[in-house]
Amino acid sequence: MTKLDSKIPEGVLKDKWTNYKAHQDLVNPANKRKIEIIVVGTGLAGASAAASLGELGFKVKNFCYQDSPRRAHSIAAQGGINAAKNYPNDGDSVYRLFYDTVKGGDYRAREANVYRLAEVSNAIIDQGVAQGIPFARDYGGLLDNRSFGGALVSRTFYARGQTGQQLLLGAYGALNRQIAKGSVEMYPRTEMMDIVVIDGRARGIVTRNLVTGEIESHFGHAVVLATGGYGNVFFLSTNAMGSNGSAAWKAYKKGAYFANPCFVQIHPTCIPVHGEFQSKLTLMSESLRNDGRIWVPAKLEDAEAIRARKKRPEDIPEEDRDYYLERRYPAFGNLVPRDVASRAAKERCDAGYGVETGQAVYLDFKHAIERLGKDVIEARYGNLFQMYEKITDQNPYETPMMIYPAIHYTMGGTWVDYELQTTVPGLFSIGEANFSDHGANRLGASALMQGLADGYFVLPYTIQNYLADQHQVKPFSTDMPEFKETEKKVKEQIANLMEIGAKGKRSVDSIHKELGHIMWDHVGMERNANSLKEGIEMIKKLRKEFWQEVRIPGKTDTINVELEKAIRLADFLELGELMARDALHRDESCGGHFRAEHQTEEGEALRHDDKFMYVAAWEYKGKDAEPELHKEDLKYEGIEVKTRNYK
Amino acid sequence: MSTKTINLTLKVWRQNGPQNKGQFETYQVSNVSTDSSFLEMMDVLNEQLINEGKEPVAFDHDCREGICGMCSMYINGRAHGPDRLIPTCQLHMRKFKDGETITVEPWRANGFPVIKDLMVDRSAFDKILQAGGFISVNTGGVPDANAIPIPKEAADEAMDAAACIGCGACVATCKNSSAMLFVSAKVSQLALLPQGKVEAKRRALNMIAKMDELGFGNCSNTGACEIECPKGISLAHIARLNREFLTASFTA
């Protein structure tokens, strides 16, 4: 078994990043313009990396499947971004942010990466303000903070309920400036189809122009994947419709290990499912848990009456309401981490106390409105309340919101070392696409922090350590056999799909929905060995059906949305199996990975640190071969490993 | 939620490519849940077309939660359809009646050529922002975030402008196909903040010049854009843009 080298720098935890930067190799300014870098994705990580690398003088090519880089799904993040500024004077520090993140991740994250993340967090806020991001402010003109789950301090900066949008538009502005200067070349409506590896190093990508269908090759001295997570394997999730795992999956097949694929975050506050034609789930920001109180009826007969439309939530008197998070976790109450809140909702609904369809709980603002007034609540959450009303036709100022957990974020992803480099030299992975910082559960408002930390302040340094000797390498011609061979394979896959698709009977979506059901039922919020084994067999069977029965109308030399979806689904049908395998091998519960066999008497996740305190990194071994497991042992020097306790 | 289902007749614009002539096609869709979004109804239509061996309708969409700005349908003569303060993805079928005929078209504007069916090319918006829709700071080396106090009112107003999702409804709904509301939102956001004031003149001049160059029309203050804007961006920003532009022109 190969040993994974995480390249964690020597020295005490707090000095590692400083030492790394002091001793790493850099590329001199004159040589930077000789070096070409490919960045795939334009979300927070991709846009910030492409802009920053362009500013430094590298020649950057940036790709996205959307019609504009501004559409990337980071834009949908609502609540906020964490930083250790300690502006509210409530005891925050870099160490505390690090501590909360490692603890929130249930001790399955790499300590050195998390510490670095906390260290650079403050610079992100400074950068955002300099870019003109209109963060919320107090009357004195200084920045305001709110609190989020899993923390005892208020460290979250926000721009109404549109923090992701504002941060992304900030990065997009920086990117636009570089595009105008010619240092970044932008390729919208272009999807990465494969990575080209030459002599063991990533040297470029093959893309499909989504408008013309043209297959093209692009050279890069290094390739950076900033392609987000794979939550859409579940079909229904809070991801955008086009969000996909294909870039990470192609990287896996080219030798980049895939780490902790089973670590998926289920967000507790989403609008419940309404019917079988539902295409996505809408998140209601976690920030709502600052003022909203979560409850279900305490009596079964009340829950039944509500489901039968014989009672309304307003009819249930205070003493007959079960504020189950406040009851179970008095210290953190409604602000427990996401995995804990999600499971608690499922537990109540499974026990028969769910409302509406039975798969929903209440998030009630009555007390907050009484305490603070409607105006204050409107100022804080107005746009979220408006969105809720548009979707459900109910007014949350008057009646409680209904929420239920939904797939939201994937902590797992491409394995990277401290430099964010994958196991393929020259191939880097940043943001949600990598596995790095969140362990088995991500805290709220930390995804924006990680994406921008990687893109603005980590990758622009660490990639230079790799590129330092690359200015002597002349750009390769894309006529080289490795490029042509990869193009040929891509074209063959497309031709194969179109041939099946001409005769097939099942639409891409119908197969994707079936995969989603398998994943939710067998690899979802609660898993056990039997359900996972069954799930694996079902996925295999569905995959076979896909390759015989999928229907794809249209042509390849024009916009063909069904073809795009089919290519992505083909990868999800393989990725889903690896997720189930990983979940089966991890015979413990931790964070968002809850194995029914491993729980405390009170129903909390029961870790087995003696056996599983490692990152599971899977190596692709060929089409029908079993993937090989590699382990990166996790060592904690700056934090005492404990059982998470939010009581 | 009081769910019911409705049957609809759809007249949908079909166009093979930018060079082709397009035409309306008529389709029937039945049993549409009133809790579905408009795009979920389009999914039902497409599933039906695929099962009949036909090509589905191409349309842009992505986040389906009202923030990415990618969806762009002109429904019954209105950008994003018959509801206020939402893009198409947040329009719900409860806004329509059983038996109704719904007309669905792409954005129509010189600046936004049709790519296929209901998809249009909005890269002109990116180009306008590339001309100056940013503050020229590099990564790193910036002052502490609390170094410059900014009055809450200014920050809030900047946020109102910054809420623009770049969908193009303002252009699609304007009889002159003017992009003034879009341009003014960015100019106004940055002009309201001390960080953005430094290059405010340059920004206004360059963005307006680019907008004119790309074939967008003039603003004649009819206010249709404000009404159809899914984020409620106010016409007041156009007034601020005009002030910025005039001052810049006189002092440049």
Q: What is the pLDDT of residue A209?
A: 98
Residues of A in contact with B71 (CB under 8 A): none
As a whole number, mean pLDDT of residues A157-184 equals 97
Neighbours of B91 (CB within 10 A): 25
State the Cα–Cα distance between residues A365 and A611, nearest whole angstrom.
44
- pLDDT over threshold 70, residue A2: no
What percentage of chain B's residues is helix, strand, coil (to nearest 5)? 40, 15, 45
pLDDT above 90: percentage of residues in chain B? 96
Domains of chain A: 15-78+164-266+409-472 (3.50.50.60), 268-407 (3.90.700.10), 481-630 (1.20.58.100)
Q: Band the pLDDT of A594: cuts 50, 70, 90.
A: very high
- pLDDT over threshold 60, residue B1: no
Q: What is the pLDDT of residue B2?
A: 59
Q: What is the pLDDT of residue A10?
A: 94
Identify the residue among B52, B63, B72, B88 best suited for mutation to test binding to A, counting A beta carbons within 10 A and taking the highest.
Answer: B63
- Residue B64 region by backbone torsions, left for phi larger than 0, else alpha for psi between -120 and 50, else beta: left
- Cα end-to-end distance, chain B, whole Å: 58
Neighbours of B245 (CB within 10 A): 19
The partner residues of A211 in beta bridges, in order of sequence, read none
Neighbours of A254 (CB within 10 A): 18
Please indicate whether, in this complex, the C-beta atoms of A176 and B58 are within 8 angstroms of each other.
no
- Name the phi and psi angles at A484, rounded to 5: -65, -40
Closest to A414 measured CA to CA, from A264, A222, A248: A248
As a whole number, mean pLDDT of residues B143-172 equals 97
- pLDDT over threshold 80, residue A372: yes
State the Cα–Cα distance between residues B167 and B179, nearest whole angstrom.
11
**Assigned CATH class of B122-251:** mainly alpha
Neighbours of A12 (CB within 10 A): 9
As a whole number, mean pLDDT of residues A298-320 equals 96
State the Cα–Cα distance between residues B121 and B112, nearest whole angstrom.
5
* SS3 call for A599: strand
- Give me the architecture of the B5-116 domain, per CATH: Roll (3.10)
Of B64, B137, B189, the CB nearest to A279: B64
Q: Band the pLDDT of A386: cuts 50, 70, 90.
A: confident
**What's the whole-number average pLDDT of chain B?**
96
Give the nearest chain B residue to A172 (CA atoms).
Answer: B134
More confident site: A281 or B3: A281
Q: What are the b/e assignments for A510-526, b being 16+ CB within 10 Å?
A: ebbbbbbebbbebbbbe
Please indicate whether, in this complex, the C-beta atoms of A73 and B33 are within 8 angstroms of each other.
no
As a whole number, mean pLDDT of residues A327-349 equals 93
Of A108, A338, A380, A581, catalytic: A338
Please indicate whether, in this complex, the C-beta atoms of B56 and A561 are within 8 angstroms of each other.
yes
* Per-residue pLDDT tens digits for A169-178: 999 999 999 9
Please indicate whether, in this complex, the C-beta atoms of B142 and A126 are within 8 angstroms of each other.
yes
* Per-residue pLDDT tens digits for B193-238: 999 999 999 999 999 999 999 999 999 999 999 999 999 999 999 9
Sole residue written with tokens 């400074």: A126
State the Cα–Cα distance between residues A307 and A158, nearest whole angstrom.
36
As a whole number, mean pLDDT of residues A535-562 equals 97
- A328 carries an active-site annotation: no
**What's the whole-number average pLDDT of chain A?**
96
Contact at 8 Å (CB) between A592 and A439? no
Listed by start position, the domains of chain B span 5-116, 122-251
Identify the residue among B5, B50, B84, B89 best suited for mutation to test binding to A, counting A beta carbons within 10 A and taking the highest.
Answer: B50
Q: Band the pLDDT of A379: cuts 50, 70, 90.
A: confident
- pLDDT over threshold 80, residue B252: no
- pLDDT over threshold 90, residue B71: yes
Contact at 8 Å (CB) between A472 and A31? no
Contact at 8 Å (CB) between A104 and A441? yes
Please indicate whether, in this complex, the C-beta atoms of A558 and B116 are within 8 angstroms of each other.
yes
Residues of B in contact with A279 (CB under 8 A): 37, 39-40, 43, 64
For this complex, say whether ipTM is above 0.95: yes
The partner residues of B37 in beta bridges, in order of sequence, read B92
Of A73, A131, A558, the CB nearest to B17: A558
